[in-house]
């Protein structure tokens, strides 16, 4: 991405590209996404898109990195991992596109290992929080990364990429309340000591 100051009009165009590309990549993945659809939806042209992002891969990287930053900032971890799992579940309902982007990245780029090269840095504060909760006797012993992965996996049980059932924000609230209660209780039993 080119680092140059944007005019308000340029910023608006860039924002439209990001919004259109987020939906395009979430729906079609990296290989299936089409620049033509992105620029048509964003009401711009290829030259502007390439001027801001360089190429399709760099556009996906910018969107995916921003989505991970959003997840980290929108759903901060706490020692109460059961509460954290429920807040993750709620965020997946609000922004199903973010979970789809992560899934496409996993399928098309990194089938094993971390999603991003700097995953250790992104997860460092979460792993520290889990280790501190373990030291305080609030969370079961074990590798903090494995505990984090287990909690995240459980929070995704009804996510848009679930192999069993993908929940939607449009469903009755009582369905979500029932799932939240089950998720909270299951995480508490699986990884919390009190």
pLDDT digits (tens, 9 = 90+) for 154-176: 999 998 888 888 898 899 999 99
Does residue 60 surpass a pLDDT of 90?
Answer: yes
Residues of the chain with CATH 1.10.10.60: 1-64
Does residue 47 surpass a pLDDT of 80?
Answer: yes
Cβ pair 145, 126 in contact under 8 A: no
Helices (H) and strands (E) in the chain, counts: 9, 0
Second CATH level (architecture) for the domain 75-194: Orthogonal Bundle (1.10)
Is the pTM for the entire model greater than 0.85?
Answer: no
Class for the domain spanning 1-64 = mainly alpha
CA distance 90 to 19: 21
Residues of the chain with CATH 1.10.357.10: 75-194
Backbone angles phi, psi at 158, to 5 degrees: -115, 20
What band does 2 get if pLDDT is binned at 50, 70 and 90? very low
| Mean pLDDT of the region 83-101 | 90
- Say how many C-beta atoms besides its own lie within 10 A of residue 149's C-beta: 12
| Mean pLDDT of the region 139-154 | 95
| Mean pLDDT of the region 122-150 | 93
Amino acid 1: pLDDT: 47
């Amino acid at each position: 991405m080119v680092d140059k100051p944007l005019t308000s009009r340029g910023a608006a165009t860039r924002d439209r590209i990001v919004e259109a590309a987020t939906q395009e990549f979430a729906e079609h993945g990296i290989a299936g996404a089409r620049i033509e659809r992105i620029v048509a939806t964003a009401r711009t042209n290829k030259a502007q898109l390439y001027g801001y992002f360089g190429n399709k891969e760099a556009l996906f990287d910018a969107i995916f990195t921003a989505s991970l930053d959003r997840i980290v900032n929108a759903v901060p971890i706490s020692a109460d991992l059961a509460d954290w799992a429920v807040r993750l579940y709620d965020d997946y309902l609000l922004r199903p596109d973010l979970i789809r982007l992560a899934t496409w990245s996993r399928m098309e780029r990194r089938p094993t290992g971390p999603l991003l090269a700097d995953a250790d840095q992104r997860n460092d504060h979460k792993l520290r929080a889990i280790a501190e909760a373990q030291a305080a006797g609030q969370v079961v012993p074990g590798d903090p990364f494995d505990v984090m992965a287990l909690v995240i996996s459980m929070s995704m049980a009804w996510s848009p990429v679930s192999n069993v059932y993908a929940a939607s924000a449009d469903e009755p609230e009582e369905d979500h309340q029932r799932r939240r209660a089950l998720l909270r209780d299951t995480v508490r039993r699986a990884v919390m000591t009190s």
